[in-house]
């Protein structure tokens, strides 16, 4: 769990949070960013994205925080590949952040096959430091390119790492210190999977979500499947976004956040604005995520603004 409210003051803050209406305008971040992972840490919303630019310019990670989902502050560089000797010093992709026992763990892709790394900090805005001095994952297990890590912490505190490009998805347990894999690496690959896995849990069911198509064109989209086990199997159920080329295309590589204490869910993702042709001109946006009575995720419209609460 990302938040624990034990004191009266903290519980009062949670009540205030539940009563708040959050509004935003898309895109929520200024500039070209992609692959956003959205969290609520230390009483603020946080987005950890990829800087959407040429590979040679993707050499570090930044973070952004907000109290209201509308006004976002740039926390600056939280991890620089100059401080990660084993990296290729380029193609900093698709980060994932998780917190456990008061520390923050940042999982990241060092592109071109160098591997997945992990860095640690005492604060959500870093600086993050690589404690291993080597990749956490460097091999292509089950054919999965070691990119696009997503850390999921279950209700019982057990942590899992999902990852994989090149149309293969795998998962493994993380050790109690969050710095090593434990047990067998299991392939999950559902139909049409390409990259960008994300896991959420709702009403006892595990929802594996992923991106399909090509990130450089309009075929890019999000799909999902459900299982009673974090190791699957996951059968593809459907894609999520209704196409709307008048607003944007290539809507994908996302994350999902349930606002603490509420039944409200938000999806963060990137898309290419209408009229843009440069593959790296991608922006980070938010949408409401809703479920029907059967637990299926409802289709999502591309919007220019939204609200929740």
* Catalytic positions, written as ranges: 35, 195
**Distances from the Cα of 145 to the Cαs of 166, 192, 259, 299, in angstroms?**
6, 16, 32, 29
Q: How far is CA 103 from the centre of its chain?
A: 18
On whether the CB atoms of residues 77 and 61 are closer than 8 A, the answer is yes
- Asked whether the beta carbons of 80 and 129 are under 8 A apart, the reply is no
The DSSP call for residue 16 is H
What are the residue ranges of helices labelled H in the chain? Answer: 8-19
Torsion angles phi and psi, residue 127, rounded to 5: -70, 145
Q: In whole angstroms, give the CA distance from residue 110 to residue 25.
A: 31
Q: How far, in Å, CA of 113 to CA of 87, rounded? A: 9
Give the largest Cα separation in the chain, rounded: 52
Cβ neighbours of 73 (radius 10 Å): 12
CB 60 within 8 A of CB 77: yes
Bridging pattern class, strands 92-100 and 33-41: unpaired
């Amino acid at each position: 769990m990302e938040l624990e409210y034990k004191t009266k003051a903290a519980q009062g803050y949670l009540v205030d949070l539940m009563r708040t209406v959050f509004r935003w305008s898309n895109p929520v971040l200024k500039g070209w960013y992609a692959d956003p992972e959205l969290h609520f840490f230390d009483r603020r919303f946080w987005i950890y994205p990829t800087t959407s630019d040429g590979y040679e310019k993707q050499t570090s990670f930044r973070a952004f925080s907000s109290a209201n989902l509308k006004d976002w502050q740039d926390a600056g560089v939280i991890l620089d590949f100059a401080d990660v000797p084993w990296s290729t010093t380029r193609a900093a992709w698709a980060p994932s952040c998780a917190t456990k026992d008061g520390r923050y763990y940042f999982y990241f892709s060092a592109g071109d096959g160098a591997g997945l790394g992990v860095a640690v900090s005492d604060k959500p805005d870093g600086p993050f430091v690589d404690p291993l001095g080597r990749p956490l994952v460097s091999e292509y297990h089950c054919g999965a390119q070691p990119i696009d890590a997503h850390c999921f912490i279950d209700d019982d505190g057990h942590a899992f790492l999902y990852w994989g490009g090149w149309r293969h998805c795998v998962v493994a347990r993380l050790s109690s210190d969050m710095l090593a894999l434990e047990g067998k690496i299991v392939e999950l690959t559902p139909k049409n999977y390409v990259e960008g896995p994300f896991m959420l849990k709702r009403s006892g069911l595990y929802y594996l979500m992923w991106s399909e198509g090509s990130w450089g064109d309009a075929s890019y989209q999000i799909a999902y499947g459900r299982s009673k086990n974090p190791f699957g199997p996951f059968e593809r159920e459907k894609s999520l976004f209704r196409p709307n080329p008048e607003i944007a295309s290539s809507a994908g590589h996302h994350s999902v956040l349930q606002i603490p204490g509420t039944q409200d869910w938000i999806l963060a993702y990137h898309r290419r604005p209408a009229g843009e042709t440069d593959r790296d001109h991608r922006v980070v946006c938010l949408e409401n995520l809703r479920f029907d009575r059967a637990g299926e995720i409802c289709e999502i419209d591309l919007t220019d603004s939204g609200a929740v609460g």
